[in-house]
């Protein structure tokens, strides 16, 4: 049975992570996705490559697509694009607005060819404002959005990016895929396409959660003081750690959740404990045989005595967890209804029964790499199942078949290939 987006044709002009991930998610849901890239290949093919024309990153973000390498700067490419867009439902873009216009792949040009087209783009900072034409990447947006400071990681006096993954790119890709589905639904009702835009900056602010919130009656005075203190420390060329201390929204706060929502080291491995409600927190105290004055009437967590008490309580809990193995603690905590889980390494996940049982891994046979195991579709559809249909495409693997589908001749293909317009 075909996926929920079966029959939807997508042309993916994007590169690197955010846009390609969006295209992959749409392909998993059944859309036909054509990856349009330069004849020499998009940059991500060659970053840390382990195959002649593919990297691990490219394989992950370009599953399920067909490859059409095309030099957009050549006049011959215009006719290929025109025919392609005529029958396309969705285009994905992550060029700067001025670049798309220069190449003739902007919304105004495409909507004249196909008024039903859903034209979706990821920009760095949004289409408006003083930064609209600036290039931006995940690390730069981590810095500019406050996300890096909020994480409060410092090495040798310098703030550090969040390395686990390209968080902002990933969030933007997922966001754009959702926007595509919403725009297609709107088109079903109106019969007309539209331009849809999301940005790395917007995704960055989403990831800040409640930190990006200012309630004037509670926060305005604190924020104004923080801004003044930060400006003073910068003017004094104070170390970044000192600047960080001036920002309540960035520095780590001491609080009792240090006991109840954290990672503990056991005899053999770290485990996570998550108690977000008072009943769960009291249950953990009973399980550990500890008491906490935080539950007494009139408790003030900001007094020196309370801070010292919280520090000591944390140390007591840490010592108790180190007395038993992780297996013992899992049993104890689960028997008492306390949420817990192990800290695992990525290498351990591929054989995890919970991940496998929910279809969160997929396997495909890659023409060069052999068996490839990676993330499967992220959602289940009862009537129209999502599927990881094919591995990432070789550069130009589908050029001939796509051009023939568009009505071009084999002579056109041979001529353009010899002149470097396609590959």
Whether pLDDT at 52 is above 90: no
Q: What is the pLDDT of residues 334-383, one digit of tens each?
A: 999 999 999 999 899 999 999 989 989 888 889 888 998 988 998 889 89
**pLDDT tops 80 at residue 400:** yes
Q: Which of 285, 314, 347 is the last residue of a domain?
A: 347
User: Are residues 124 and 76 part of one domain?
Assistant: yes
Selection from 2, 46, 54, 1 nearest residue 27 by Cα = 2
Triad 46, 47, 49: Cα angle to 5°: 65
CB 396 within 8 A of CB 423: yes
Question: Residue 307's pLDDT is what?
Answer: 87
pLDDT given at position 153: 81
Q: In this predicted model, which residue has the larger pLDDT, 218 or 329?
A: 329
Q: Please, which contacts does 362-365 make with residues 24 or more away whose CB atoms are closer than 8 Å?
A: 362/388, 364/63, 364/388, 364/390, 364/391, 365/391
Q: How far apart are the first and last CA of the chain?
A: 34
Same domain, 338 and 382: no
Average pLDDT, integer, range 16-33: 97
pLDDT for res 34: 98
Spell out where 150-309 has E strands. 154-155, 158-159, 194-199, 261-265, 270-274
Contact (CB, 8 A) for 367 and 394: yes
Whole-number pLDDT of residue 99: 87
Same domain, 97 and 148: yes
Residues 58 and 105 in one domain: yes
Average pLDDT value over all residues in the chain: 92
Q: Mark whether 324 and 385 lie in a shared domain.
A: no
Q: What is the pLDDT of residue 133?
A: 86
For residues 139-150, give the mean pLDDT: 90
Q: In total, how many domains does the chain have?
A: 3
4 within some domain: no
Q: Which long-range contacts (CB under 8 A, 24 or more apart) does 37-40 make?
A: 37/67, 37/68, 37/69, 37/70, 37/395, 38/69, 38/70, 38/71, 38/72, 39/69, 39/70, 39/71, 39/396, 39/420, 39/421, 39/422, 39/423, 40/69, 40/423
Report if residue 181 sits inside a domain: yes
Q: What is the CATH number of the domain that holds 120?
A: 3.40.50.10540
- Range 179-191 average pLDDT: 97
Element (H, E) at 302: none
* pLDDT tier for residue 257 given thresholds of 50, 70 and 90: low
409 in a structural domain: yes
Q: Are residues 182 and 270 in the same domain?
A: no
Q: What pLDDT is attached to residue 251?
A: 62
Residues 327 and 392 in one domain: no
Residues 134 and 61 in one domain: yes
Average pLDDT over residues 196-219: 92
- Whether 60 shows a pLDDT value over 70: the answer reads yes
φ/ψ of 316, rounded to 5, equals: -65, -45
Average confidence (pLDDT) over 306-333: 95
Contact 99, 172 (CB under 8 A): no
Give 131's pLDDT tier (boundaries 50, 70, 90).
very high
**229 & 248 share domain:** yes
Q: Which of 294, 322, 347 is at the close of a domain?
A: 347
CA 105 to chain centre: 25
Residue 352, domain member (yes or no): no
138 with 228, same domain: the answer is no
Domain that holds residue 143: 9-206+358-419
pLDDT for 253 equals: 55
2 domain-assigned = no
Q: Are 143 and 159 in contact (CB under 8 A)?
A: yes
Average pLDDT rounded to a whole number, residues 155-180: 91
Kindly tell me if the per-residue pLDDT of 228 is higher than 60: yes
pLDDT at 211: 86
The answer on pLDDT for 134 being more than 80 is yes
386 is a domain residue = yes
Percent of the chain scored above 70 by pLDDT? Answer: 98
Last residue of a domain, one of 308, 328, 347: 347
What confidence tier does 254 reach under pLDDT thresholds 50, 70, 90? low
Percent of the chain with pLDDT over 90: 72
Same domain, 247 and 264: no
pLDDT of residue 224: 94
- Is residue 83, in this structure, part of any structural domain at all? yes
- Do 166 and 296 reside in the same domain of the chain? no
Residue 1 belongs to some domain of the structure: no
Is pLDDT at 97 greater than 80 in this prediction?
no
Region 246-250: what's the mean pLDDT?
Answer: 85
Position 255 pLDDT exceeds 80:
no
């Amino acid at each position: 049975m075909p996926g929920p987006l079966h029959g939807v044709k997508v042309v993916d002009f994007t590169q690197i992570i955010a846009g390609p991930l969006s295209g992959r998610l749409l392909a998993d849901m059944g859309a036909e996705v054509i990856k349009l890239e330069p004849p020499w290949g998009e940059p991500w093919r060659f970053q840390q490559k382990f195959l002649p024309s593919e990297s691990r990153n490219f394989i992950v973000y370009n599953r399920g697509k067909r490859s059409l390498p095309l030099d957009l700067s050549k006049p011959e490419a215009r006719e290929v694009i025109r025919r392609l867009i005529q029958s396309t439902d969705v285009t994905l873009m992550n060029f700067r607005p001025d670049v798309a216009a220069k190449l003739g792949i902007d919304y105004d040009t495409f909507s004249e060819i196909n008024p039903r087209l859903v034209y979706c783009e990821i920009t760095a900072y949004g289409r408006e404002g003083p930064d609209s034409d600036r290039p931006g990447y995940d690390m730069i947006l981590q810095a500019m959005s406050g996300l890096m400071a909020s994480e409060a990681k410092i090495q040798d006096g310098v703030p550090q990016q969040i390395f686990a993954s390209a968080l902002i790119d990933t969030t933007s890709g997922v966001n754009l895929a959702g926007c595509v589905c919403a725009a297609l639904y709107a088109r079903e009702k109106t019969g007309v396409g539209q331009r849809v835009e999301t940005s790395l900056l917007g995704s960055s602010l989403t990831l800040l959660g409640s930190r990006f919130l200012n309630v004037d009656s509670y926060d305005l005075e604190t924020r104004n003081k923080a801004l003044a203190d930060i400006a003073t420390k910068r003017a004094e060329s104070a170390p970044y750690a000192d600047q960080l201390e001036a920002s309540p929204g960035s520095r780590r706060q001491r609080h009792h959740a240090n006991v109840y929502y954290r990672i503990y080291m056991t005899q053999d491995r770290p485990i996570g404990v998550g108690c977000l409600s008072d009943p769960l927190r009291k249950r953990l105290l009973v399980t550990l045989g500890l008491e906490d004055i935080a539950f007494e009437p009139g408790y003030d967590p900001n007094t020196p005595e309370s801070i010292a008490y919280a520090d000591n309580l944390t140390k007591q809990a840490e010592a108790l967890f180190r007395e038993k193995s992780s297996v013992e603690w899992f049993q104890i905590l689960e028997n008492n209804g306390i949420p817990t889980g192990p800290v695992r390494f990525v290498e351990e996940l591929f054989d995890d029964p919970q991940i496998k049982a929910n279809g969160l891994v997929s396997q495909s046979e890659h023409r060069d790499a052999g068996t490839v195991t990676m993330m499967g579709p992220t959602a289940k559809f009862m009537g129209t199942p999502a599927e990881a249909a094919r591995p990432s495409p070789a550069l130009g693997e589908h050029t001939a078949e796509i051009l023939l589908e568009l009505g071009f001749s084999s002579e056109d293909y041979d001529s353009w290939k010899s002149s470097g317009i396609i590959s």
